[in-house]
Amino acid sequence: MGAAGSKLEKALGDQFPEGERYFGLENFGNTCYCNSVLQALYFCVPFREQLLEYYSNYKNGADAEENLLICLADLFTQISSQKKKTGVIAPKRFVQRLKKQNELFRSYMHQDAHEFLNFLLNELVDILEKEARTAKNEAETSPPEKVANGPKNPQANGVQKEPLVTWVHKNFQGILTNETRCLRCETVTARDETFFDLSLDIEQNSSITSCLKNFSSTETLNAEDKFFCDKCCSLQEAQKRMKLKKPPHILVIHLKRFKYIEQLGRYKKLSYRVVFPLELKLSNTVEDANSEYSLFAVVVHVGSGPNHGHYVSLVKSHNHWLFFDDENVEMIDESAVQTFFGSAQEYSSNTDHGYILFYESLGANKNS
């Protein structure tokens, strides 16, 4: 570990970013799915900064119960406040809390990094929302009648929860519009849905841009899939499409590399070559201005099947690309990123494939 750390410091030399820390994470028996995602989130700078700020305010306040948010904030604080520039940290408290909280992650079996990311972001939001509601209730309980008779409570389940936008939402949440057009009366029904990541179907020798186009392509609903049109008051043929209405500040793209094959009765890993660019334009899916994004992290699945293998991550930090493999951290060349696109042939010795991509918006729409 010491040797690897000093090797990285030598490689960066006087270009080592001031105040930055590059630490590997110890593996507690198949916890690479967790380590790879944590590294990607640590180098998601706006998220890291807000988490550290939250923790410094939290530490100054009353001591609440330990939860996953506190464990994550504590881990990120440990890393960022290390005296050494490189080394290894054991995310023991975080992993223990994760296993305590969700039985899915308790076994020593191979876990899915995307499932973990999804669970983690939703869990952080739940904790922040709960804290905000508690604070709001405490503020409102001074005159007790207010809570009982106040105008805010009749729609407590629906509207009250809506306006609360946490800093997790501000970073990761985007909005999709599900549009359905009745082919008889031409009425368009639009329904907005929020998302923290986009899961894209993949094809052999494709690109993120083509996968996004397919995601937004029009689908015809007919035969037994007809749509109930409120205006016609009957089932009608219709056209349906998904549009990206508001792209998030941090765009997380999950490539659906694990597909259930009916004939086999099990999941199979798709090693397809899917090109993901370092700079991504979302012009074809967003109606307003061009949204430009820059790639800053990739969670890579290593292995030929869905039930075994390994996860590593590639991270861009201060214009350098780094390779994180549990305890090990090393510099890689930017051109090495393309070796993780996938395999153009069905059977290839290369089993290292990009699985979750993290893009940051280059626009000024950070807090919009």
Q: Which amino acid, one-letter code, is at 253?
A: I
- The one-character DSSP state at 365 is -
Distance CA 41, CA 267 (A): 28
Q: Which of 267, 146, 284, 124 is nearest to 210 (CA)?
A: 284
183: Cβ contacts below 8 Å, ≥ 6 apart? 236, 237, 238, 239
Catalytic residue among 169, 249, 254, 310: 310
Catalytic, 44? Answer no
- Burial of 346 from C-beta contacts in 10 A (0-12 / 13-18 / 19+): exposed
3-state secondary structure (DSSP) of residue 227: strand
Q: Give DSSP secondary structure letters for 140-198.
A: H-SSHHHHHH-TTSTTTTTTTTTT---HHHHHH-EEEEEEEEETTT--EEEEEEEESSE
In the residue annotation, 233 being an active-site residue is answered as: no
Within 13 Å, how many C-alpha atoms sit on residue 271's CB side? 15
- Tokens describing residue 261: 């094959």
CA 350-38-53 angle, to 5 degrees, is 155
With CA atoms as reference, report the closest residue to 80 among 58, 113, 119, 47.
47
Catalytic residue among 32, 44, 71, 229: 32
The residues that are catalytic are 32, 310
